[in-house]
Structure 1
Amino acid sequence: MIKFIIVVVLLLLVFGGGTKMVVAGGAKSLDLADRWLGSGGGARLLLADQPYGNGPRQSLDIWVPERAQQGDALPVVVFFYGGGWDSGERASYGFAGRALAQQGFVVVIPDYRLTPKAHWPDFLEDSAAAVAWTHRYIGGLAGDPERIALMGHSAGAYNAVMLALDPSWLRAAKSDPSVIRGVAGLAGPYDFLPMEKGGLADKAMGKVKPAEKTQPIAYARGDAPPLWLASGDEDATVRPRNSRNLAAAIEKAGGSAQLRLYPGMGHTGIVMALAAPFRSKGPVLDEAADFLRGVTGRRIAPVEAAAQ
């Protein structure tokens, strides 16, 4: 019973908004759940409520390693949370920001527009604008603008992968698609036609014609940034076939896609495994961080250039 109560409370806090508190000495805010989910030090909230656009849902938070300094050039991860494109807020994902910052990354967590007020492609346009803002300004915030990777869970993984596979979104945001060095996707919907009538995807993008335009797998290409696609084998919300199918399509096109299936893990469990109390459920954080470190490694000069 105690375990059940804890899980219910966590789900309410993480996916239902949570309660904010003001950090002494500034206007920064932390989600109350983060106090428990993100146990330990090693990370801090550098910037909160930073606008990347003019809309009420176009703001972001930035987490950094505890000892990060302004002149640092650390690898950057832009993390998009899930919620079926109709719910979610960045304040509830401080645990993810802290977890990745503890791994040595500067972590950007943006909000984006949601249904029913917004529909496809509004949330993709916002996601692209957040990445463009990050590339433009992260160099003054301890990050390296040439080492940016994306990560997301569920609907957020969809947003991240779409930006990586279809260069038009970042171009429309007046940014360079090549800024994306790789994407780590957790339980993302990438190949979900036909859409369930009245389901979350149908409400968010069901009116788009042709429907294939909404599918990440339709943009699979060999020169896409490397993908790390993870799913729980007990995920009944976004079936693991989404990750399997996209990984196979990328590999068939000659690209790089790693597929990781976690036994006994469900849709919520895979993102909760980033939080300190649940990391024993599976090495999601360690393996995702290893991938992200690999794709954001510093560029190595060609041998002939280095010899000159």
Structure 2
Amino acid sequence: MRRRVLLLAGSALGLAGGVGFAAYSPVTVLNAFAPGAFTVKRNLAYRPGPRGRMDLYLPRQAQGAPLVVFFYGGSWQEGDKAMYRFVGAALAARGCMVAIPDYRLYPQVRFPEFLEDCAAAIDFARRLAPSAPLVLMGHSAGAYNAAMLALDAQFLAPHGLVPNRDLAGWLGLAGPYDFLPITDPALQRMFGSRAQWPRTQPINFVTPGAPPAFLAAGLADHTVDPGNSERLAAKLRAHGDAVELALYPGLDHRKLVGALSPYLTFLAPVLRDCIAFINKVAPSTR
């Protein structure tokens, strides 16, 4: 069975091409065989509307476990929490509580409204586990969301949260953090006038005292330039902030997040490295 899963998922990842991650079959394969001892509370409402729901993955022993809020990618235009069951399962099986929220997408909303949704999701998840160390995590556009919420304090402030006080750390996988000029027409409409572009870039909000960061990128990524992660890591270090940078040879944009599945750890040690970082910044108190 394990060999069959490896062949199906690996083949599908290799054939994905330029299709959005949530739109193709390897997610179905990975979700169907997501292993581990965990339970799921589905469709918890953190805000009104169909995209104001989250799924919460709980390890066998949730008491004392860190809480990871994971934001998926999709160019802020597509994505669904159900497609990332394999992420919630992988992290929960390794001792994390994992909240995966949906959030409103373009064209329903534009910058910064999707970030405001993500901030509301964080606040809701925190209230479910108020004593748990809080960690943000995301892939692609979701990594951008995590970065903005960790680095620009204005989004968490309405919820009484302060990033360098209330976040144990954050992880960004293949995130766009420094992508000016914006050339894609849809992104131009999404992020507004050229005059406000600088305030849309996570790299412009780096200050001393930022929460610890883990930045990962695949060196074969032609969707989001790995230089985004390298430049942000360099700026964080220059300001004295704790940051780990992991660059994985041979991984493209989709294989990087796919490697979070226990069935695809042969691609690269992404899951191991993420868990090691989470355990370092938010050790279990069990």
Is residue 48 from structure 1 mapped to residue 42 from structure 2 by the alignment? yes
The corresponding residue for 1:154 is 140
What is the percentage of aligned positions where both structures have the same residue?
A: 39
- The residue type equivalent to 1:44 in the other structure is T
Structure 2 CA distance for partners of 1:49 and 1:204, relative to 1, 3 Å:
same
What is the match of residue 133 of structure 1? 124
Alignment of 1:191 onto 2:191: no
Highest RCO, 1 vs 2 (Cα 8 Å, sep ≥ 6): 2
Gaps of 5+ in 2: 1-6
How far, CA to CA, are the matches of 1:120 and 1:296 in structure 2? 30
> Are the aligned partners of 2:31 and 2:83 in contact in 1 as well (CA < 8 Å)?
no
Aligned to 1:16: 23
Tell me, yes or no, if the aligned pair for 1:78 and 1:149 is still in contact at 8 Å: yes
Residues of 1 paired with 2:188 and 2:221: CA distance?
20
Map 1:101-116 → 2, pairs under 5 A: 101-116=92-107
* 1:202–1:278 CA distance, 2 compared to 1 (3 A): farther
Deviates more, 1:208-217 or 1:160-169: 208-217
Shift of 1:277: 2.5
User: Could you tell which deviates more after superposition, 204-213 or 216-225?
Assistant: 204-213
Moved more, 270-279 or 99-108: 270-279
3-state SS in 1 of match to 2:215: strand
Question: 2:53 aligned with 1:59, yes or no?
Answer: yes
* Matched residue type, 1:212: P
Q: TM-score, normalised by structure 2?
A: 0.89
SS of 1:258's partner is: strand
CA contact (8 A) 2:175 2:228 kept: yes
Counterpart residue identity of residue 112, structure 2: P
Q: Kindly provide the amino acid, as one letter, of the partner of residue 45 in structure 2.
A: P
Q: Give per-residue Cα distances to partners, 1:192-235, cap 9 Å, x unaligned.
A: 0001231x533421436321000000001120000110000111
Letter paired with 1:131: I
Q: 1:217–1:246: 8 Å Cα contact kept in structure 2?
A: yes
Residue 133 to residue 9, structure 1, CA distance change in 2 (3 Å): same
CA RMSD of aligned residues (A): 2.5
Is the alpha carbon distance of 1:209 and 1:162 closer, same or farther for their aligned partners in structure 2, counting shifts above 3 Å? same
**SS at structure 1 position matched to 2:50:** coil
Partner residue in 2 for 1:256: 242
**What's the TM-score once normalised by structure 1's chain length?**
0.83
Distance, in Å, in 2 between the alignment partners of 1:36 and 1:76 is: 24
Deviations 1:51-108 (A, max 9, x none): 011122111000111x235xx1211100000110000010000000000011110000
Output the CA distance in 1 between the equivalents of 2:14 and 2:219.
20
Paired residues in the alignment total 276
Counterparts of residues 79-118 of structure 1 (less than 5 Å): 79-118=70-109
1:305 aligns with none
How many angstroms apart in 2 are the aligned matches of 1:48 and 1:197?
Answer: 35
CA contact (8 A) 1:13 1:33 kept: no
Q: C-alpha separation between the residues in 1 aligned to 2:140 and 2:212?
A: 18
